[in-house]
Structure 1
Amino acid sequence: MTQKTPSKPGKPLATAMLAALGIVYGDIGTSPLYTLQTVVQSFGHVPGTADVLGALSMIFWALLITVSFKYCGLAMRADVHGEGGILMLMSLLGAYRTGAAVLTTMGLFGAALIYGDGAVTPAISVLSALEGLNVLTDAAKPFILPGAVAILAGLFAAQSLGTAVIGRAFGPVMALWFAVIGVIGAIHIVRDPAVLAAADPAYALHSFMTLKWQGFLVLGAVVLAITGGEALYADMGHVGRRPIRISWFTLVLPCLLLSYAGQAAVLTHKPNTQDNPFFTAFDELHLGHGALIALVILATVATIIASQSIITGAFSLTRQAMQLGWFPGLRIRQTSAEEHGQIYVPVVNWTMMVATLGLALAFRSSARLSTAYGTAVSTTMLLTTILLIVLMRRRWQWPWLAIVPIGGLLAVVDGAFFAGNMLKLTDGGWVPLAMGAAIFVLMTTWRRGQRAIGKRLATLDESREALMAELVAGTLARTPGTGIFLTGSKRAIPEPMRLLASQVRALPRTAIALSVVFSDEPYIFSDDKVSFEKTGPGMFKIVATFGFAEIPSLKRALDLAAAKGCPVDAEHVIFYSAAEDVIAAPDRADRILPAWQRWLFGLLRRNAVRPVDLLSLPRERYLALSRQLEL
């Protein structure tokens, strides 16, 4: 089968870079709102100049090593036809049997943790932006949490409307945001250029060694500066590798470094400040209350954009996992006719809203919420590094002489961040990890349950052979019309066809087994995506293959099959599918799944979207054949 890389619209580089600012850099771009504040609190004492420079040096080198080198330099080379992310990294290693189960587990768990990180990011971002009002007046404090809850609730409620229109403003707003934080930082650096000494990694090493075990707590806070790094890789398919890299090195990285250095310069002179150093740095410019309010508004809009990117990223990840067979069918709605990535997944949206609002109400401030932030993303980053090291050896075939220093450096850095965040488990760090673990259990249970069904249905092959014999002999009644039997198997007689024949002792005159298969490629444009063959008297088998990022069109698939000679008219067919109700096998020795997993799988299966909705089939021409299946 010929598979082609989807051609992206021919946008000018500047336009693509602007789009990257709005789609990719919202999370990492708003990190200066809370990162240095959290780092300072993690010292456990009033930081001196050496402490501040050490913290700045850690942030500086974290951005260079993890984001610039690891993600922009290495990870973006590991793509599947332009699509990135840890699931794609996992799929690139899927062909290797040695350690396949372990690699798959790491990839799935890393992907599942993104949901936990996604629930925390909107809450901490919006809270930190509104907390800028505290610099203006203490009277604003009682209104910050209700305001954040209102903004977050409105953001999730607006998802069903789509973001195609407002999304066009994301890039320019984020460009303005980076320009503002860069200028603020640059002014303070000019006033106190001594902070530039933090570019020397010796400051980071000396600070870490001096702090001893407390240094891991500081690293657990420093990781907040790079929490959006995984998004650079995961969102690569939206705008392309080149625009992301160029915008990072020419605008985003310089402005982030200027912002952090400017805040550090302020902290060296005001170490006892209780306010957020980001807003304190702006207040020190003495531009007036109106300017501060304008900055709070801009910061709030930027955090909304960051939250939007996280939410839409969760939607895309859900679709990928679902079409790769790791998630039950969920209702997905396309919200834009032009932009394929604009989708809406109601279940994911409302679940994330409940989790995000719950976290905001439980922790009540960005400072407290920061203790729960970082554990999920640091774990995902470490898992990504491990998969990258395996990829270097198995797929890229690098020599050990190159893998050991490069992979070793990344593993040490990510391992240190991971260790630092594990110290925050009892203070709330367990929350996003628990969310990720729950998603991981759902994904693996669904996969194992689906395989168990396939194993049980395989025991019915004898009845299929008898049915085929009747069809060949012409002893089974055939009714007028065409029936399309939806199946995930490659058998000539799928389960819904066998069920119909056994119950009514008849089949349509033209009986077509249709398998919808999702490839590990994101898009498939070739007409070869549809194949068909004749399997018996009046019986045919059609296999329609779609990329995991596509929304399947059965009408298009059937039209392609008709063009190749299959006697099918998409407008005059009846669709059939099997709907198994999972129950416990009476013989314990014959049970495939343990009780808890069978119960969970049954719950997922009963609530999964049916084929009529998943594939947008005409309801008046769809029949579901129900039966109980013992597992």
Structure 2
Amino acid sequence: MSASPAHPRPSLALLTLGAIGVVYGDIGTSPLYAFREALAQSGADGISRGEILGVLSLALWALIIVVTLKYVAFLARMDNKGEGGVLSLMALAQRATGAKWPIVVVLGATGAALFYGDAIITPALSVLSAVEGLRTIPGLERMQEPLILGLALGILVGLFAVQAKGTARVAALFGPVCLVWFAALAALGLWQIAQAPAVLAAVNPLEAVRFLQGHGVTGLFVLGAVFLTVTGAEALIADMGHFGRRPIQLGWLALVWPALTLNYLGQGALALQALDRAEAAGQTLANADWFFLMAPDALRAPLVGLATMATIIASQAVITGAFSLTHQAIALGLLPRLTTRQTSAEQIGQIYLPAINWLLLAGVVVLVFGFRSSSAMAAAYGIAVTGTMVVTTCLAFLIAWRHWHWNRVWAGVAIAPFLALDLFFFGANILRVTEGGWVPLAVAGLVGLVIVAWLRGRRAAVARTSQMGIALADFAAALAARPPVRIAGTAVFLTQDLALAPAALLHNLKHNKALHDRSVLLKVETLPQPWVEPGQRLELEPLDERFLRARLRYGYMDAIDVPSDLARSPGLLDGPGGTSFFVGRSAIRFASRPLLPRWMTLIYMILHRNAADPTAYFNIPPNRVVELGSQIEL
């Protein structure tokens, strides 16, 4: 995560191809299961023509309203200096409101927490649905469930295992593979539509209205399943920083949207043909794996292989998104520091977080063994995504009002239809909580608990430190009156409050009875914007000839390198004696008069103890670091 690159960006065509391979992987694999699952909600006693056209119409108009109008046409314009996603929107809203509205942090934290629920379901559901396609190949219809689960788990474990080595080398294949995938979606759809053109009636939104009017509560369950067609829409804005708005919009309008529309129409056309045959035989029509059945028998095996590659790419995009979101959450102070490794020398955005990787894999394995089929798992999918969309829409209102300076009423009028639709979909998915929808809610709840404990714990620790601290101005005046022994060199003390003398400084003076010629008190801050130009990061404030206050400001997407950025100021780190960095290591203890509930202090204590080494996070060489311990009672 570095400052925006200085070298020229690739051409529009190459950026669009890259966006097709990364941005649209999730939504591009929805045809594997979305239409099948939506039809299953209404066709338990046999599928009718009206149900086929009604479900299909709902799916097509969900793509138009939710993805094309809301995300591509509207939300894509709400970028934070080129970056998108729920935390970028949170940061932009924080900037627009002066960081004084707690609701902004609550919305951002909620959206981030819900994303992790989505991040474990997407790989499990998409890969399992592709592997289940093997049963549609002639001769493999009786393939046993243990073998299906074993193959899916083997693919998923292999995918997570290679994350440590980085994906930069194979990422170049994502775009071409997905291009072939969307071409295959369109071709299969066109072939089936040509055999049953009556399916084009589903383009009429009245088919969706008639279906909902005639199905009551069942219609709401169908809506929850129809939402599977738009899962992955969040990626359109989340990946704007990598590709830009125009390539993402062009990829959707020119290829992805037409391909998805044709494929869903093709699945509906196949269902209509099957219905005609069933009625002619005097039988009811049962639901089927419509996607794979669109292909001729001879092409079924290659289609399963292509679908598996597409789902691996979709899963990779979600895993990478989880790494990126976590990096942003750490920078914005929502989560403790985690070990982060750079996996590519050329692409600074290619990072790997071991803790997140293995936690996601554990969640995926539990889901696969717990649900055992993509149909059972589909019920768990929509809640996390719809919840994130509600959060995104609320943040969009704040940005339109406070950042774009729209009239509050007109901003509400513009946002209200999108919010109403999001809440409608969210309500439809809530009905499926007992079928598995509780899983992403439980994951989001756990992540939310961690975020709350970390935020409140840090605030309490800073408050306790302030109570026990000594004002820096008073401390400097006292030293000027009775100077200690001075030793050559510069000491940099990392601190969270520049008004107080850091505990590491006090301990160093107490134990060593000496101070360096120059002491720099450094506070590292993250601004609610993705990038800060290197020349604008450092701000210096001399206190006297011995003490200097320094602020280093980074964007939440920047790579932090404290020594390099301090060295940009001539003479700051130069001179005899070299430079040492002093870092305070605080141990959290229970206080007799606690600032937090005991359970919250316990969680914060565990998070604080297991946070990554700050010197590695700030990119400070270990041989230049002096660590001094202290205790904080909460």
For the superposition of Structure 1 and Structure 2, which TM-score range results when normalised by the shorter chain?
over 0.9
Residue 479 of structure 1 pairs with residue 483 of structure 2? no
Aligned counterpart, 1:235:
239
Secondary structure, counterpart of 1:397 in structure 2: coil
User: Which runs of 4 or more aligned residues in structure 1 lie more than 6 Å from their structure 2 counterparts after TM superposition?
Assistant: none
Amino acid at match of 1:139: R
User: 1:123 and 2:117 equivalent?
Assistant: no
Change (3 A) 1:192 1:306: same
Alignment partner of 1:247 out of 251, 266, 274: 251
**2:620 equivalent to 1:617:** yes
Note closer, same or farther for the CA distance 1:461–1:628 as it changes in structure 2 (3 Å cut): closer
Q: Give 3-state SS (helix, strand or coil) of 2:311's partner.
A: helix
Separation in 1 of the partners of 2:155 and 2:469? Answer: 56
Change (3 A) 1:45 1:505: farther
Q: Judging changes above 3 Å, is the alpha-carbon distance between structure 1 residues 464 and 534 closer, same or farther for their aligned structure 2 residues?
A: closer
Aligned identity (percent) is: 38
Q: Give 1:140 shift.
A: 2.4
Matches within 5 A, 1:407-556: 407-462=415-470, 464=472, 466-491=474-499, 493-556=501-564
Aligned residues of 2:182 and 2:259 also touching (Cα < 8 A): yes
For residues 447 and 499 of structure 1, what CA distance do their matches in structure 2 show? 27
Counterpart in the other structure of 1:594? 597
Q: Which amino acid is the alignment partner of residue 306 of structure 2?
A: L
Q: 5+ residue gaps in structure 2?
A: 276-284
RMSD of equivalent CA atoms: 2.0
Q: For residue 516 of structure 1, report the CA deviation from its aligned partner.
A: 1.7
Instruction: Give the 3-state SS of the residue equivalent to 2:117 in structure 1.
Output: helix
Match of 1:192 in 2: 196
Judge conservation of contact 2:615–2:625 (CA < 8 Å) in 1: yes
1:20 paired residue number: 19
Count of equivalent residues: 619
Q: 2:609 aligns with which of 597, 606, 610?
A: 606
The answer to whether the aligner puts 1:582 opposite 2:588 as a matched pair is: yes
Pair 239,115 (structure 1): closer, same or farther in 2 beyond 3 Å: same
What is the CA–CA distance in structure 2 between the aligned matches of 1:98 and 1:491, rounded to whole Å?
21
Shift of 1:491: 3.0
Match of 1:343 among 344, 348, 351: 351
Amino acid corresponding to residue 289 of structure 2 in structure 1 = N
Q: CA deviation at 1:518?
A: 1.6
Name the SS for the 2:521 alignment partner: strand
**Cα distance change of structure 1 residues 477 and 347 upon mapping to structure 2, 3 Å threshold:** same
- CA distance in structure 2 between the aligned counterparts of 1:32 and 1:8, rounded to whole angstroms: 38
Contact 1:134/1:141 (8 A) holds in 2: no
Tell me how far 1:404 sits from its aligned partner: 4.9
Alpha-carbon shift at residue 287 of structure 1 (Å): 4.7
Corresponding residue for residue 82 of structure 2 = 82
Residues 570 and 200 of structure 1: CA distance in aligned 2, closer, same or farther (over 3 Å): farther
Bigger CA drift: 179-188 or 607-616?
Answer: 607-616
Q: Return the alpha-carbon distance in structure 2 between the equivalents of residues 380 and 451 of structure 1.
A: 26
1:574 CA displacement: 1.6
User: Which is further off, 142-151 or 118-127?
Assistant: 142-151
Contact residue 521 and residue 548 of structure 1 kept, 8 A: yes
Matches within 5 A, 1:353-432: 353-399=361-407, 402-432=410-440
Say if 1:539 and 1:401 are closer, same or farther in 2 by CA, change over 3 A.
Answer: closer
Matches within 5 A, 1:27-106: 27-43=26-42, 44-94=44-94, 95-96=96-97, 100-106=101-107
Give the counterpart of 1:153 among 157, 162, 181: 157
**Pairwise CA distance, 1:93:** 1.9
Structure 2 counterparts to residues 152-171 of structure 1, below 5 A: 152-171=156-175
**Aligned-partner residue type, residue 369 of structure 2:** L
**1:470 Cα deviation from its structure 2 partner:** 3.0
1: distance between equivalents of 2:149 and 2:378?
15
Q: Which moved more, 1:500-509 or 1:242-251?
A: 500-509
Instruction: Give the conservation status (yes or no) of the 8 Å contact 2:22–2:317.
Output: yes
1:243, distance to aligned residue in structure 2 (A) = 0.1
Indicate the residue corresponding to 2:267 in structure 1: 263
Residues 522-547 of structure 1 deviation map (CA, whole Å, 9 limit, x = unaligned): 11224121122322332222222221
Q: How does 1:191-210 map to 2 (within 5 A)?
A: 191-210=195-214
Using the TM superposition, give the Cα deviation of residue 611 of structure 1 relative to its aligned residue in structure 2, in angstroms.
Answer: 1.4
Q: Which residue of 1 aligns with 2:133?
A: 132
- For 2:586 and 2:430, locate their aligned partners in 1 and report how far apart those are by CA, in whole Å: 42
* Cα distance between partner residues in 2 of 1:170 and 1:254: 20
Aligned equivalents of 2:425 and 2:7: distance in 1?
Answer: 36
Task: After superposition, give the CA deviation of every residue in 1:546-591 in whole Å (9 maximum; x if it has no partner).
Answer: 2111111123212112x2x4254699322111111111222x3xx2
- SS of the equivalent of 2:143 reads helix
Alignment deviations for residues 272-291 of structure 1 (CA, whole Å, 9 cap, x no partner): 34531101111xxx351xx2
Distance 2:529 2:575 in 1: 28
Q: Would the alpha carbon gap of residues 99 and 458 (structure 1) be closer, same or farther in structure 2, given more than 3 Å must change?
A: closer
Q: Secondary structure of the residue that 1:491 maps to in structure 2? A: coil
Secondary structure of the residue aligned to 2:567 is: helix
Q: Compared with structure 1, are the counterparts of its residues 453 and 263 closer, same or farther at alpha carbon in structure 2 (3 Å cutoff)? A: same
Residues 299-318 of structure 1: pairs in structure 2 closer than 5 A: 299-318=307-326
* Aligned residues of 2:47 and 2:286 also touching (Cα < 8 A): no
Inter-partner Cα distance in structure 1 for 2:411 and 2:90:
19
- The whole-number CA distance in structure 1 between the counterparts of 2:408 and 2:606 is 47
Task: Give, in angstroms, the shift of residue 364 of structure 1.
Answer: 0.7
Residues of 1 paired with 2:124 and 2:155: CA distance? 10
1:278 counterpart (291, 302, 310): 291
Q: Which amino acid is 2:135 matched to?
A: N
Query: Conserved in 2, the CA contact under 8 Å of 1:156 and 1:350?
Result: yes
Cα 1:570–1:372 change in 2 (3 A) is farther
Secondary structure in structure 2 of the residue aligned to 1:545: strand
Q: Secondary structure at the match of 1:436?
A: helix
In the TM superposition, what whole-angstrom CA distance separates every residue of 1:470-497 from its partner, at most 9, and x where no partner exists? 3212432323332211122223632321
CA shift, 1:617, in A, is: 2.2
Alignment match, 2:280: none
Secondary structure of the residue aligned to 2:144 is: helix
